Amino acid sequence: MNVFDALNIMYREDTISDFLVNCFRDSSLFLREFLNRAEITTTENTHFSINERVGLGKGIGTPDIIICATTNNQVSFIVIENKMGAVEGKEQTNRYESLEAKTRIASRFNAEEENSEFYFIFLALDSTVRPKNSQFAFLNYSIFLHGDWQLHNKTLQYLMNDFQQKLHHFYEPLKQPYQSLECNEQMDNIQRKICWQTILHEKFYTYKEFLLDWGETGGSGRSNFLFLISKRNWKSSESFQDEGLLQTFNIHIDTYVNMLDSKEKQLKEIGVRFETFPYKPHRQINKLPNYEAFVKNKADFGQKLVDKSIQQGLPVKAKGSKLLVLSISVEADSIRETIENIKKHVLTMEKIIDEVVEEMKEVNILK
């Protein structure tokens, strides 16, 4: 039996980070191969100090791995953030790359920030995520399926072989996401999420005016994958914290998949959200001035959207939830047909939302 299955540790970031740290410490060739994949060059004279979970204090956080690389008198720091299926924390990579973080890292290792070099690596199991900070080099765990990853310690080599086997099984169905979803292969939630994420992103990324975002949300007895489509003119120019709730808006077309239902193949509907900018749950804003006006604007927006959608022949249904103003039924017999119908509905709804937003701006309801 595969060790990573027996211990149920494949998606445990701290455990996998510890495993990598031990591999780095065991073999400089293994470490250099990893750094080469991030285009970080070292020499035979480079000395490495490898450190896991280095706490940098309030406001910065705790990077998974920090490598201090010393070549002669030159000190370099390599910050590695490891993600085993999770998304980046709020501003996580921006915090780790900040001047304050660099200063604290250098101080921790008795070095000067201005005399040190810094490199950043975002290592992710999910092939579709990217770090928010552009200074982070992106590496996918599939790198360990190609190349020479030899270790000296026999136990570590045995674990690496099992790890590579798990990675192969993880990535294989992702090569053909339509087929894997259609055939209902034995995939876990993360694999299913990546399949949906891949095909939705491929369908919409060429539309440069769209702002695409994705993630997960949960609640009592549910876990949904969200793929959100927005545009710059679908949100207020100023935050509601600065301008109040009276005219705030933040609109998304919302595609959501229930990750707990592995038998569900098609998406049955998509929705349209009307939120504050930036988004805050209603329980955090319902005591603020003009909350009732915000709720009325949401209802008016939803009704206008429903009326115009019906005129365009869209199969819509009004929604009264705290987020959704309407849903659009998606009829299809296959995954490919589902995605094509979603695209058709989104492009029609885009024009309707543009029209309604402009109408409400003209009478100074939205701003």
Tens-place pLDDT, residues 3-40: 999 999 999 999 999 999 999 999 999 999 999 999 99
Residue 323 tokens, joined:
């987020």
pLDDT in tens, 171-229: 999 999 999 998 866 888 889 888 998 999 999 999 999 999 887 765 434 467 889 99
- In whole angstroms, give the CA distance from residue 302 to residue 19: 51
Q: Cis peptide before 278, with omega less than 30 degrees from 0? A: yes
Please identify, among 169, 197, 215, the residue that sits at the C-terminal boundary of a domain.
169
**132 and 231, same domain (yes or no):** no
Please identify, among 169, 193, 213, the residue that sits at the C-terminal boundary of a domain.
169
Phi/psi at 115 (nearest 5 deg)?
-105, 10
- In whole angstroms, give the CA distance from residue 250 to residue 239: 10
Whether 348 maps to a domain, the answer reads yes
Helices (H) and strands (E) in the chain, counts: 11, 11
358 pLDDT exceeds 80? yes
Largest CA distance in the chain: 73
**194 and 157, same domain (yes or no):** no
**239 and 198, same domain (yes or no):** yes
Max mean pLDDT among 207-216, 317-326, 353-362 falls in 353-362
Whether 279 maps to a domain, the answer reads yes
Mean pLDDT taken over the chain: 91
Q: What is residue 221's predicted lDDT score, i.e. its pLDDT?
A: 41
Higher pLDDT, 249 or 222: 249
CA distances from 126 to 141, 170, 254 (A): 8, 10, 21
- In whole angstroms, give the CA distance from residue 124 to residue 83: 5
Total domains in the fold of the chain:
2
Query: Between the CA atoms of 356, 357, 363 and 366, what dihedral angle is there, to the nearest 10 degrees?
Result: 140
Whether 59 maps to a domain, the answer reads yes
Whether 21 maps to a domain, the answer reads yes
**196 and 302, same domain (yes or no):** yes
Whether 176 maps to a domain, the answer reads no
Q: What is residue 261's predicted lDDT score, i.e. its pLDDT?
A: 59
Range of the domain at 63: 3-169
